[in-house]
Structures are given as C-alpha cells and as structure tokens.
Structure 1
Amino acid sequence: MTLLIAGLALWYVGHFWKRALPRAHDNMGPRAKGISALVILIGVVFMVIGYRATESFDVHTYPPALRHVNNLMVLFALYFTSPGPSKGALFYKMRHPMLTGFILWAVAHIIVNPDLASMVLFGALTVWAVLEIIVINRAEPDWQPNPKGTIAKDAMFFVASIILLAIIGYIHGLIGPTPFGA
C-alpha cells in the first residue's frame, strides 16, 4: 500500500505543482512540462506496482448487476474523454468533459471493486479530478464554450467509444478480470 500511496502522491504533485509553485514552474521554462510528465509517469508506475502488490480485502460485496452499470459508466467516460463533447451539439457547453470522464471511470471502478486497495486508488483519483476542476475554474474563471457542433459528430464519437470499449474490455480481460462477464 505504501508504493500505491507514493504513486498517488506523485500523481498529485505532477499535476498541481504548476499552480502551487508558479514561480518555480515558470523559472524552469519548457523543461517544466517534461518534469511534470516524468513525475506523473513515475507515479503511474508506482500506482500499478503498488496496486498489484497490495494484499487487500473486500470491504463489502456488490450485486453482479453493477457490472453493467460499470460498463455503461466507462462507455460514457470514454465518450467524454474523446473530442465528442467539444465538437458535438449535446455537450459542447461542458467545461471539463475529460475530467468528468475521468471521474466516471474512477467511480465505475469503485463500485465493482470492493477491495480496500481499489477504494484507495480510485477514490484518490476521483478526489484529484474534482480538485483539478476546482483549481482550473478558480485560475481561469472567464472560460467560454466552443461553438456548437453537430449531432453527427456526437454520434461518430459515441460509436468510436463503443468500439474502444470493446477493445479495452478485451485487453482488460487478458490482463485482469473481464468486464463483460464470466
């Protein structure tokens, strides 16, 4: 669990240090982005290794039907992280579609993984995304939405999200539990 928590800490630091220490970030110039990316990458590696190595226990059980809710939430998470919301007509006024998608993905994983390590990992990532939205909104209050797109763009990116869900689900089943059934 220590490595998992260290990875989460690096994830937070890599994302927030630009606004927490703006002078230090600005003094580094273009290297700051590379350092942020490296810190985040090391954090992800630590999270993966820490998560897989943690001996955890289930805190509760969940009804098997929640697997379908999970898959639906992940489908919408994929759509929100695509260009669909900013290019389409349905969600073009949404300010943070990618972070919203990230929150959906993390919460979807919380509801079907009742073990403590999953709750720590996905709970901390959910909190990070919510904090990121708050920090961005405070730093950039004058945001304006993109021009309204078309329903055809929404449909195109939603179909792409369905295909991507099938591919990710297949790969997920190869390296871990299958999200689509026994």
Structure 2
Amino acid sequence: MPVLILGLLLWVLAHTFKRMAPGLRARMGDAGKGLVAALILLGVLLMVIGYRQTDFIPIYNPFPGAGHLNNTLMLISVFLFGVGGTKGTLYTRMRHPMLWGTVVWAVAHLLVNGDLASIVLFGCLAIWAFIEMSLINGAGPWLRPVHGRGLKGDAMNLVGTVVIIGVAALIHQWLGHPVFLGNY
C-alpha cells in the first residue's frame, strides 16, 4: 500500500503544483512542464505497481451485474476524456470534462471493486478531481470556448471512445479481469 500511496501523492502534487505555487511554476518555464510530466508518469507507474502488489482486503461486495453498469459508465468516462481534444458539442457547454471523466471512471471502478486498495486508489482520484475543479474554479471565471466542431467532433470522439474501450478491455482481459461478463 505505501507504493500506491506514494504514486497518488506524486500524481496529486504534480497536478496541483501549478495552482498551489503558480509563481514558482511560471519561473520554471518549459523545464517545469517536463518535470511535472515526469512526476505524473512516475506517479502512474507507482500507482499501478502499488495497486497490483497490495494484498486484497475486502471491504464490501459489489452487487450482481455491477459490471454492466461499470462498462456503461466507462463509455461515458472515456467520451468525456475526449471532449476537449475533439471539440464536439459538449466542448462549448461543459467545464472540466476530463475531470468529470475521472470522477465517472473512479465511481465505475468502485462499483465493481470493493477492496481496500481500490477504495484508496479510485476514491482518492475522485476526490482529487473534485478538489482540482474547485481550485480551477477559484482561480477565475470560465472563458467559454466559442467554436467547436459540433457533431463532427462528437463522431470523432465516439470512434476514439470505442477504440480505447476495446484496447482497455483487451488489457483487462490480459491481466485476468474480463470486463464483459457483468460480474468481476
């Protein structure tokens, strides 16, 4: 569990650095971007390693069929992750789509994983996303984007979402966690 927690701390600190120490971050210039990216990558690596090596300590039992709800929420989550990149209809209407995607992703995984490591990992990332939204909102008003790609962007995002979900399903299958059975 310590490796998992260290990974979470690196993730949170790297992502909130710009908001918590804007002057220092600005003085670091492009080198700061590289450092933040490296810390985020290291954090993700430590989260994966820490999660996989932590003993399974059950806290609650997911309800039967929760896997189907998880899969539906994952489609929504991945679609939200792509909103900013594809600039579809939600692009000009929704603030923080990637952070909301993180919240949906975390909730989806908490529905099907009732062990302590999952609660720590997914719960902390959901809490971080809410805190990050609050910090961003507190920094100033949202300058709503004027133009997006509309339905073309949505179509691109939908295709990307299906591809990413397919790849994620294959990775989960390879790790021994088939995602289309309905129960985990």
Fold match (TM-score > 0.5) = yes
The alpha-carbon distance between structure 1 residues 109 and 24, as it changes in their structure 2 partners (threshold 3 A), is same
Q: Percent identity?
A: 41
For residue 97 of structure 1, report the CA deviation from its aligned partner.
Answer: 1.0
Partner of 2:55: 55
Code of the residue aligned with 1:74 in structure 2: it is: M
- Aligned partners of 1:54 and 1:45: how far apart in 2? 14
- Aligned partners of 1:39 and 1:89: how far apart in 2? 33
- Aligned partners of 1:91 and 1:15: how far apart in 2? 22
The alpha-carbon distance between structure 1 residues 142 and 52, as it changes in their structure 2 partners (threshold 3 A), is closer
1:145 and 2:171 correspond: no
Greater mean alpha carbon deviation, residues 161-170 or residues 142-151: 142-151
Partner of 2:31: 31
- Aligned partners of 1:81 and 1:23: how far apart in 2? 28
After superposition, give the CA deviation of every residue in 1:38-93 in whole Å (9 maximum; x if it has no partner). 11111111111111111121111112311000000000111111147862235630
Greater mean alpha carbon deviation, residues 48-57 or residues 84-93: 84-93
After superposition, give the CA deviation of every residue in 1:19-38 in whole Å (9 maximum; x if it has no partner). 21222222222211111111
- 1:94-113 equivalences under 5 Å are 94-113=94-113
- Aligned partners of 2:32 and 2:91: how far apart in 1? 32
Greater mean alpha carbon deviation, residues 170-179 or residues 139-148: 139-148
- SS of equivalent to 1:179: coil
After superposition, give the CA deviation of every residue in 1:88-130 in whole Å (9 maximum; x if it has no partner). 2356300111111111111111110010000000000001111
- Aligned partners of 1:89 and 1:140: how far apart in 2? 23
- Aligned partners of 1:169 and 1:42: how far apart in 2? 24
Question: Across the two proteins, how many residue pairs are aligned to each other?
Answer: 182
TM-score in terms of structure 2 length? 0.89
Partner of 1:17: 17
Q: Which runs of 5+ in 2 are unaligned?
A: none
Code of the residue aligned with 2:14 in structure 1: it is: G
1:83–1:157: 8 Å Cα contact kept in structure 2?
yes
Q: Which runs of 5+ in 1 are unaligned?
A: none
Partner of 2:88: 88
Partner of 1:44: 44
TM-score in terms of structure 1 length? 0.90
- SS of equivalent to 1:30: helix
Indicate the RMSD between aligned Cα atoms, in angstroms: 2.0
- Aligned partners of 2:147 and 2:68: how far apart in 1? 34
